[in-house]
Amino acid sequence: MTKTSFWEQLSTLTGISTQKLLLCFFDLLALLGTALLVFFVRAAFGGLDPVLYHWVVPMLFLGPFFGAGLGLYQTISPAPHRELKALFQLVSLLYAIILAVLFLSKMGDAYSRIVIMGSWAATLFTMPLARYLCRRIYSRKRWWGKPLVIFDHCREGRELWRYLKRHPERGLNPTAIYDLPDTPDEMRLLFISVSARYPKAMALLLQKVGQAPDTDVTTEACRYFSNTLVVPAFGGGFRVHWLTPRDLGSAVGLLVRQNLRDKRRLFVKRCLDLFLCLMGAVILLPLGAALALIIKADSPGPVFYRQKRVGQHGREIRIFKFRTMVQNADSVLKEVLARDASLRQEWACDRKLKCDPRITRVGRLLRKLSLDELPQLINVVMGDMSLVGPRPIVHSEEKKYGAVFEEYCMVKPGITGLWQVSGRNNTTYQERVNFDQYYINNWSVWMDLWILGKTVPVVILGYGAY
């Protein structure tokens, strides 16, 4: 007999899924824990009356109710950058209400600004972290997520099955997959038998756009399943993911939004780049000076290395890097490739070598921690690059991007990006292209902030770097 956990028992009593209960609990933990921590830190310096703040805690308990309205407790987890935006809205709304109460009570002067504003700022970091820990700890449990039955009508269901199995944090747990019959009678019989076998499951229909089956598959599935997820397969390499449904009366349209053509959003992206560079200069300038001295002492040659890369609109740019290779790197590479056929094949595949003989001792450490790219902040300030974006490529790599190269040219290359936080050198080149295409088609300022946040642990752990 399987042992039932506390959360499963609570889910049975409340009728709320275990996944939603846990997310709600971790949200409350972040809201209350952060506020109490900031309060106690400020109280250590004296001058605070704890009685004044007794009403703030009940206000924070409203967080899950507002979060539900912002879509934070859906069965299918929102995309990380959209969730980050919703969490920002939730925390800001709660503390805006608290500030409004203080203003209306005319007692604002009696409260510490550090406690109120510090709790708001700190919670913006702790809430996404708490949700990440929640999914990290529990998403592999058998009771996490909604059971999902996939009905494959365009032979792409196996790929989706594998993706969802690798990412249980998305909130869907594939339990079965079936080929969807073409005849209406066979289709109905399949829906009847599957819905009886998996009464709590959600149905997922994969349908090729442009096909006109004799039976309305979606309506038919809704007769037997309480929730039906329709995934249109557009074919032809179509990979745009930012699709928003729009009611058109007798029809439903899918709005595709390209934020990179919005000058206002691009202006915000540019301001964010300059602001973060300015804020980080206090720490990064002394660090850069120290690294320059270490590089100079380790091996002969210049401190900086400039490379030609393809920038926005396809124009050539020169990016700065700390030198991580020996001075005669080109001749060393030619000699190594001439001697070893396996290395020639590795170089031809990704233009990288895992055990590169050209890299110096200090250079290997700089690459491991991505510190060799620190001088590219100069390119960001100059406007050639952005903090977040596709990695800059050389002209010989254009053919590997194929038709995606036109999309690549729409945006400035970045110091970090979706590829870097998704495996980096542990991925294939085609996966790198797919990551860049996804970023370009789904870009938003919130995605940039999410990627910047993910970059910190990736750099510290050196994941995927060599």
Domains of the chain: 6-138 (no CATH), 146-238 (3.40.50), 263-324+362-461 (no CATH), 326-358 (no CATH)
Helix (H) or strand (E) holding 228: strand 228-233
pLDDT at 215: 66
Buried b (16+ CB within 10 A) or exposed e, 209-244: eeeeeeeebeebbeebbeebbeeebeeeeeeeebee
Percentage, residues of the chain above pLDDT 90 = 40
Split at pLDDT 50, 70, 90, the class of 422 is confident
The pLDDT assigned to 25 comes to 95
In a 10 Å sphere around its CB, with 0-12 CB exposed, 13-18 middle and 19+ buried, how is residue 46 labelled? exposed
Are the C-beta atoms of 52 and 42 separated by less than 8 Å? no
pLDDT given at position 1: 42
Round to whole Å and give the CA distance between 7 and 22. Answer: 8
* Tokens representing residue 373 in the block: 């790219």
pTM score, whole prediction: 0.82
Element (H, E) at 253: strand 252-256
**Spatial distance between the Cα atoms of 65 and 85, rounded to a whole number of angstroms:** 17
60 has a pLDDT exceeding 60:
yes
Please say if the pLDDT value at position 36 is more than 80: yes
For 213-254, what is each residue's pLDDT tens digit? Answer: 556 788 888 899 989 988 876 554 445 566 777 878 777 787
Mean pLDDT to the nearest integer, 107-123: 88
